[in-house]
Structures are given as C-alpha cells and as structure tokens.
Amino acid sequence: MRAVICTEYGAPETMSVGDGDDPVPGDDEIVFDVKAAGLNFADVLMIAGQYQVKTPPPFIPGNEAAGIVRAVGRNVTRFKAGDRIIGALRGGAFAEQSVVAEDFAIPLPDALNFEQGAGYSVAYGTSYHGLKQGAALQPGETVLVLGAAGGVGYTAVEIAKAMGASVIAAASSDAKLAFAKEAGADMTINYSDASLKDSVKDLTKGRGVDVVYDPVGGDLAEQALRATGWHGRYLVVGFASGEIPKIPLNLALLKEASIVGVWWGTWAARHTGEMLQNMQELDAMVQDGRLRPRFSESFALEDFADAFRVITERRVLGKVVLTT
C-alpha cells in the first residue's frame, strides 16, 4: 500500500510517499481502506519530534481517518466488512489502509461524506470532551474560543453553541472571523489588531467569560486567563503558536479559576465508555443539523506537503484533509 512515511524528524516536506506493509487486524482491531484522513497541528509536532509523546521514525503519521472496513479481528462485534467507519488512531492515517482498535472506531454518520468524517473524531471529540467534561459548560454561559477558525477551534464554536452557550470567536484575520461566524459565533475579536483582554471585557461588560478554549497558547494565554470571570475555567487544548506559555498562577487564585488540561486521546483510552457516549451525542447533533463538519481544502496523498503548508502557514479554515 502507498503511505506517507516519516523517516526522520523534521519539517513535513521532508517526508515521502512510499510502500508500506498492508496491515493485518489483531483480535480486537479493524483494518479499513482509508478514503480521507484529517491533518492536525499535532501532526506537525509529531513529525518534528516535538510532540508530548514521541514516535521513533520510521512511522506513518496521521491520527484520524474515514473509510470502509476491509477486515475485522475475531473479537470485533460492532463492525463488518463494507461498513463506513471513522477511526481515531495512534498514527497510520496517511496511508491507503490503516488499522484501528474497535473501541476507537465509530460508524460514519449517514449525513457525512468521507472528507467530512476524516476531521470528525479527534477534532469534535476533543472539543466536546473539553467543554462537557473539562469545563462542565452550562447553557447561558459565555465561551471564548481562540484560533476559532482552525481545525479544532471552529468545532468548539459549533459545539458550544449547540450546548446553549454564547460564543466569542477570536482569530488573527477578518476572513477567519467570518468563517467562525458561519459556525455560529455570536461575537468576534481580531487579536492581531486589538487587545484580547480588553476586547473581552468590553463585550462582556466587564464580567469576563466563563470558559476559555485555547488551542493556541503563546502570548494569548495570559491575556485569555485575565479575561475570565469569577470561577472561570481555562481549557489548555494545544499550542498551535509553537510556544508553551508560562502563566502567573496568582491569576487563577484571584478569581478561583480552574486551569484544565484537555488531552482527548489519553482520556478516551481511560474512559472508553464515556468517549463512545460522547460520540453518540455528537452524532445526534450532526443528524439534527446543529453540527456541520466542514473541510476547507482536500489534497491527494502525494500532495501532502502542500496540505501541510496550509496549516504551517496558518491559512487553514476548518479542516484540511488528504484523500487516497
């Protein structure tokens, strides 16, 4: 099978398309033909050897994909050959075939095509887990979403709205903010030309936000924490800025604020039943139209370098996918 292979740590364009071994399912695993795979900023970090968990080269990157089941292990009961499937993987998505544990596979909702499904499990799973379990978001609360047009940011906008919250979308350009408005944002902040903290205070009439969803990090983190209200919850989702922030913890003390890490993959492995329940609830939101997964650009497997440039050059609106 063809696959994108990382033979040494570095920039995404140092990888190449080569031949890999066809996967064989273990007893509790599913092999599927990949039709589309979603790209995440975490993939850039993994390929560079800068992610929290390092995979030694050579390896096939990619953590989420959609396709059609080819074969199942003897203990698999929820899927059969020919089923449409979404897989949340620990690598291996950027290939013509991949393998996923049954516990980390869900049916591809009828309302979604393969490209939409490719960016569904990790992005929507992360945002829903963060807002539901991490922040215990309640209807009527206000959520500030940083990087609101990115691969996970726009899903947080959609999900927060579906949960009954008011959403402030923050991004670095007016085009990105327009995309976030399409996802349901009530208010917007362009943090390239305005103070994030001051803008939030103005929009909330000095009260601050209840929840911050931050997949960006960097210089925005402290401003965002300062923009929370009493008992605010600050969700640490990622560091797309490339910089892990250092935050004065007295800011949390002064507001009795909570700083909560969101690492969906590890949580899902520890709480598989809750994860699958979350995915069922997300599926219901897709079916009734409250969520509309979208991708901005689709690239052939051979054009992976161009796809990654959309992410590293921060041009992404929604999800970028590779197709086989």
Average pLDDT over residues 103-131: 94
pTM: 0.91
Cα 3-7-11 angle, rounded to 5 deg: 95
> Residue 123: its pLDDT value, please?
92
> Residue 242: its pLDDT value, please?
82
> Residue 64: its pLDDT value, please?
95
- CATH 3.40.50.720 residue ranges of the chain are 123-265
pLDDT 10s digits, 20-48: 889 999 999 999 999 999 999 889 999 99
> Residue 182: its pLDDT value, please?
93
Q: What percent of the chain has pLDDT over 70?
A: 100
CATH of the domain spanning 2-120+295-323: 3.90.180.10
- pLDDT confidence tier of residue 227, bands split at 50, 70 and 90: very high
Phi, psi of 200 (to 5 degrees): -65, -45
Three state DSSP letters for 36-52? EEECCHHHHHHHHCCCC
Average pLDDT over residues 202-214: 97
Average of per-residue pLDDT values in the chain: 95
Length of the chain: 324
- pLDDT confidence tier of residue 316, bands split at 50, 70 and 90: confident
First-to-last alpha carbon distance for the chain, in angstroms, is: 11
Ordered DSSP codes for 254-283: HHT-EEEE--HHHHHHH-HHHHHHHHHHHH
pLDDT 10s digits, 128-186: 999 999 999 999 999 999 999 998 999 999 999 999 999 999 999 999 999 999 999 99
Beta-carbon contacts of 277 under 8 Å, excluding residues fewer than 6 positions away, are none
Architecture in CATH of 123-265:
3-Layer(aba) Sandwich (3.40)
pLDDT at 90 over 90: no
pLDDT 10s digits, 234-290: 999 999 888 899 999 999 999 999 999 999 989 999 999 999 999 999 999 999 999
Q: What is the C-alpha to C-alpha distance for residues 226 and 254, in angstroms, rounded to an integer? A: 10
What SS3 class is residue 140?
A: coil
pLDDT at 295 over 90: no
- CATH 3.90.180.10 residue ranges of the chain are 2-120+295-323
